Amino acid sequence: MPCTTSLCLLLLLLLVLASSTLGAPARKPRQKLLLVSFDGFRWDYDRDVDTPNLDEMAKDGVKAAYVTPPYLTVTSPSHFTLLTGRYIENHGVIHNMWFNTTTTEKKPYYQTQFVNEWWDNGTLPIWITAQRQGLKAGSLHFPGTASSYQGQVAMVREVEPQPYNYKDETLWRQNSDKVMGWFRDEDLDFVSLYFGEPDGTGHRYGPDSPERREMVKQVDRAVGYIRRSADKHGLTDRLNIIITSDHGMTTVLRKGLVDEITLYKIPGFSFSDVSFHLVDYGPSGMLLPKPGRLEKVYAALKDAHPHLHVYKKEDMPESLHFSKNDRILPIILWADPGYLINGYFPVQFNKGEHGFNNQEMDMKAFFRAVGPAFNKNLEVGPFETVNIYPLMCHILGIQPEVNDGHLNATKHMLVNGAATRAADVNSMQDVFTGLAAVSGFLVVLFIAMISHRVLTKTRNNKRLGSSEHHPEEKEEETKQTSF
């Protein structure tokens, strides 16, 4: 039987649809990602403690020598860098504390979690970016969870109550199971999970204490439990787990061994020249001098103590990325490791502290990763924590927001082909979209051809019937057509 134009077109359409269906590779389930932070876990905390679960995770995945957090090395700013891939001067969460320089009001860490404008500065955390691109995201206790961003929040979220026992190992296990339930039962793609230790123990007893070593053992047990819970919930083949921290910890020097830094005692300095200050919160501080008194304050403090560093905001080292933000006050102070900045007199009694220059080794944090996206038994060199964000976006297959990180810093951790997985997923989607468009066009064209043939045949039949009854009209029509 001869192939008419319409019939050939139909066969071509069927061939295209068949080839697109048979030739398409089987779509694997989308990979999921869990970001875990153990607050204050210094890069070398596993060296003086037996950590079988962390060791097993390193064999099954990736271990970094250490990671460098942003300056200021404190909890909220560093965690928001993990969520956004931006340095602190760019995301604007510059301190654990919200403050108002006009009213001199300050809010402590927990209350600051609920101040939307402190967190919502135009930089979106990965929860919101993922949700805007069709994924489901959640967060449990992670700093920034309580806030909304451009009117949106993490789809599933839980903020710890106050007071809260960050050391309770039973709660750690419950929270781990809860998060795995979110992945399995609510089909979440990304979750961030926060534990407040070993930071609290390091502060109270010091990073070299036996109490800190015991807490690291608890962290190790938690890591093992998290992985077992993932397996119990049927997630092992799809779930990638990144475990890291916001900063390290160092020992505070006291007991008359050092000349402590107390601003009130510095000759030429007076708090009457300052309208607002953030000191007494560790090794870092900021001052807002009264109008016309900046140079006086700066001159009095500069070189006043051998272990105190004093900078005008605009003169801060560029490597610290802590100057280009209106929230950062005109004078910035930080102390050498072991020293704290006191205002009128010492009010801090912690044996361990953080908040020092992020280039100090005691401020470095640890990093582990395991899952289908990661190589096994791989140790890699150090990198900055701003680079964790683009890595997470890549694994999830989402387009990242503007950030300060680079995928090149971490892509060698990924299994062969994983470095292009997101691009491959997008390419396959483009292929299917293109095939659908072509198929749709062919269907429309096929219908149009059939309609045209039917209409033409109908007209010819009418003309034929007319010529049988009025031959003279047929002859006249033929003459006009020829003309």
Measured CA to CA, the distance from residue 377 to residue 159 in angstroms comes to 35
Residue 166 lies in a domain: yes
Q: Please indicate, yes or no, whether residues 129 and 231 belong to a single structural domain of this protein.
A: yes
pLDDT digit string (tens) for 106-120? 999 999 999 999 999
Per-residue pLDDT band for 449 (boundaries 50, 70, 90) equals low
pLDDT value, residue 457: 55
The per-residue pLDDT for 15 is 43
Q: How confident is the model at residue 465 (pLDDT cuts 50, 70, 90)?
A: very low
Q: Which of 305-309, 347-351, 437-441 has the lowest mean pLDDT?
A: 437-441
Instruction: Provide CB contacts within 8 A for 91, sequence distance 6+.
Output: 77, 80, 81, 84, 121, 123
Do 251 and 43 meet the contact criterion of CB atoms below 8 Å apart?
A: no
The answer to whether residue 19 sits within a structural domain is no
pLDDT tier at 418, thresholds 50, 70, 90: low
Does a structural domain hold residue 42? yes
Say if residue 333 is in the same domain as residue 187.
Answer: no
Spatial neighbors of 265 by CB under 8 A, at least 6 apart, are none
Residue in 244, 190, 250 with CA at minimum distance from that of residue 38: 244
Strands 331-335 and 308-312: antiparallel
Q: Is it the case that residue 244 has pLDDT exceeding 90? A: yes
Q: What is the CATH number of the domain that holds 293?
A: 3.30.1360.180
Compute φ and ψ for 427, nearest 5 degrees. Answer: -65, -45
How much is the average pLDDT of 275-299? 97
User: Mean per-residue pLDDT for 206-230?
Assistant: 98
Which of 349, 366, 385 represents a domain boundary (last residue)? Answer: 349
Same domain, 307 and 391: no
Q: Kindly tell me the sign of the dihedral angle through the C-alpha atoms of 244, 247, 253, 258.
A: positive
pLDDT in tens, 119-169: 999 999 999 999 999 999 999 999 999 999 999 999 999 999 999 999 999
The answer to whether residues 225 and 92 belong to one domain is yes
**Can you tell me whether residue 126 is helix, strand or coil?**
helix
Whichever domain contains 391, its CATH number is: 3.40.720.10
The pLDDT of residue 31 is: 96
Q: At which of 349, 370, 404 does a domain end?
A: 349
Active site annotation includes 51: no
Residue 167: inside a domain? yes
Instruction: Please give the C-alpha separations between residue 66 and each of 41, 226, 363, 391, in angstroms, as whole numbers.
Output: 11, 22, 10, 16
- Shared-domain flag, residues 180 and 329: no
Give the whole-angstrom CA distance, residue 332 versus residue 190.
Answer: 37
* Residue 429, domain member (yes or no): no
97 with 154, same domain?
yes
The active-site residue out of 51, 68, 73, 75 is 75
Q: How buried is residue 348: exposed, middle or buried, by Cβ count under 10 Å (0-12/13-18/19+)?
A: middle
Q: Are residues 292 and 379 in the same domain?
A: no
Q: Is 321 inside a domain boundary?
A: yes
**What is the residue range of 83's domain?**
32-249+357-415
Query: Rounded to whole angstroms, how far apart are CA atoms 425 and 442?
Result: 26
Give the pLDDT confidence score for residue 257 in this predicted structure: 80
35: which residues sit within 8 A by CB, 6+ positions away? 82, 142, 190, 191, 192, 193, 242, 244, 388, 392
**How buried is residue 172: exposed, middle or buried, by Cβ count under 10 Å (0-12/13-18/19+)?**
buried
Same domain, yes or no: 102 and 227: yes
Asked if residue 242 lies in contact with residue 34, where contact means CB atoms within 8 angstroms, the answer is yes
Beta-bridge partners for 278: 286
Give 29's pLDDT tier (boundaries 50, 70, 90): confident
Mean pLDDT over all residues of the chain? Answer: 87
pLDDT at 253 over 90: yes
H-type alpha helices, 87-246: 88-91, 109-112, 116-119, 126-132, 169-185, 199-205, 210-232
Lowest mean pLDDT among 250-254, 275-279, 384-388, 419-423: 419-423
Residues 266 and 242 in one domain: no
Cis peptide bond upstream of 210, omega within 30: no
Query: Residues 193, 317: one domain?
Result: no
Beta bridge partners of 137: 190
76 within some domain: yes
C-alpha 247/C-alpha 300 separation (Å) is 31
For residues 44-60, give the mean pLDDT.
98
| CA–CA dist 415, 406 (Å, integer) | 18
User: C-alpha angle 272/285/98, rounded to 5°?
Assistant: 95
- In the chain the first and final C-alpha atoms are separated, in Å, by 37
How many structural domains does the chain have?
Answer: 2
Strands annotated E in 249-396: 250-251, 261-262, 274-278, 284-289, 308-312, 331-335, 341-342, 352-353, 367-370, 378-380, 383-384
Q: Is 48 helix (H, G, I), strand (E, B) or coil?
A: coil
The yes-or-no verdict on residue 462 having pLDDT over 50 is no
pTM of the entire predicted model: 0.83
Last residue of a domain, one of 396, 415, 434: 415
Residues 236, 87, single domain; the answer is yes
Most confident option among 3-12, 92-101, 431-440, 467-476: 92-101
More confident position, 138 or 467: 138
Same domain, 265 and 225: no
472 inside domain: no
